Amino acid sequence: MYSMWEKRFSVFAWGVLSYSLLVIVWGYFLRISESGDGCGTDWPLCDGAVVPSSAQFPTWVEYTHRVSSGIVLSLVLLMAVWAIRSYRKGHPIRHAAIASLFFTLTESLFGALLVVFGWVAGDTSTGRILIRPFHVTNTFLLMAALGLTAWWASRRVDQAMPLRHPEGRRLLLAAIVLIALAATGSWAGLASTGFPVESLGQGFGQYVDPEHLLIYLRTVHPIVAVVAVVILVRITAGTWKQRTTPTERRLTTAIVILAGCQLALGPLTIVLLHPTGLRLLHLLLADLLWLSLVFLWSTSGEGRPPISGRSYTPPQDSAQTRPEASLP
């Protein structure tokens, strides 16, 4: 039976994931609207104050992002403590919750570095270009840890599939490709923000006589996008008949649909000269695509033969985990 403490933790974990995703999307808006310097170079204070007196739009966007990010940290800390007290040592849910806390802290560190060094708003310095892929990777790992905490809690997973499983290795390759796609996308987004254009002709003209390294880097993203979609479809949809559960098939379908939408949204965003709404949608779908892949990896070992005498325990067959203690 699904005990009350398991249900409460699962609901809480899904709530933390959902809220964190909203905060991440708000962070995208902060970057796109060039509001990252709304609090100046002060951190964690805003313009030298706990509550800024300025009513300017960039200040409001930056301040609300900091407050909402602080709430995320508090929620993830509570979730990690709850998991440590409720699950045995070595339990995958416990590991995922602790990883969530770690990546939340490093996400805050990245935010602080961006503010302190002035790598915000329209800045296109080398430092910001170099830190962007690491920041994006950390964000994706944070979403993966939060997602697995909620996913495993709701499915009562007692043992995670080992990465050495052939299917696990294939999906790990797909994950690496998606992270590379997100990293190059961060450069493309930075180029669009730092060097806006008023027409398609002006946009193409930037490539004739590039004025910045980001113009060159922006050309990498479409190439990686096509390669990534091909690899994703080949790895996921290409093994459709091998999918043994309805959940796997639904996740596979979601990955293919989301990848197709992303491939269409990219050129559409360029043609429409990078409207804020489409850019936010493009980034949100990228997050949902990543989470779908993470969930597929989690369930891909169900019903498959063991490796070296050790099997992956499907959620429906796992023994019920007894809490050492539980929070009220």
Q: What is the pTM of this model?
A: 0.88
Select the more confidently predicted residue: 322 or 43: 43
From residue 134, alpha-carbon distances to 2, 23, 107, 255, 271 in Å are 39, 19, 10, 24, 29
Q: What confidence score (pLDDT) does residue 309 get?
A: 38
Query: Has residue 306 got a pLDDT over 50?
Result: no
Structure tokens at 208: 């004739």
Q: What confidence score (pLDDT) does residue 238 get?
A: 64
Distance in angstroms (rounded) separating the CA atoms of residues 105 and 103: 5
Q: Which residues contact 243 (CB under 8 A, 6 or more apart)?
A: 249, 252
Q: What confidence score (pLDDT) does residue 168 get?
A: 73
Query: Has residue 305 got a pLDDT over 70?
Result: no
User: Which one, of 261, 239, 260, lies nearest residue 248 by Cα?
Assistant: 239
pLDDT tens figures, 266-278: 999 999 999 999 9
pLDDT tens figures, 11-36: 999 999 999 999 999 999 999 999 99
Q: Do 104 and 24 touch, CB atoms closer than 8 A?
A: no
Q: What confidence score (pLDDT) does residue 42 get?
A: 87
- Provide mean pLDDT across the span 3-9: 87
The partner residues of 46 in beta bridges, in order of sequence, read 49
User: Which one, of 269, 264, 268, lies nearest residue 279 by Cα?
Assistant: 269
Q: What confidence score (pLDDT) does residue 328 get?
A: 37
Q: Which residues contact 203 (CB under 8 A, 6 or more apart)?
A: 197, 270, 273
pLDDT tens figures, 30-76: 999 999 989 988 888 888 888 888 778 999 999 999 999 999 999 99
Structure tokens at 23: 């905060």
pLDDT tens figures, 235-262: 877 666 666 688 888 998 999 999 999 9
74 by Cβ neighbours in 10 Å (0-12 / 13-18 / 19+) ranks as exposed
Percent of the chain with pLDDT over 90: 59
pLDDT tens figures, 136-171: 999 999 999 999 999 999 998 888 766 666 677 788
283 by Cβ neighbours in 10 Å (0-12 / 13-18 / 19+) ranks as buried
Query: Has residue 226 got a pLDDT over 90?
Result: yes
Structure tokens at 73: 């940290």
User: H or E segment at 176?
Assistant: helix 166-194
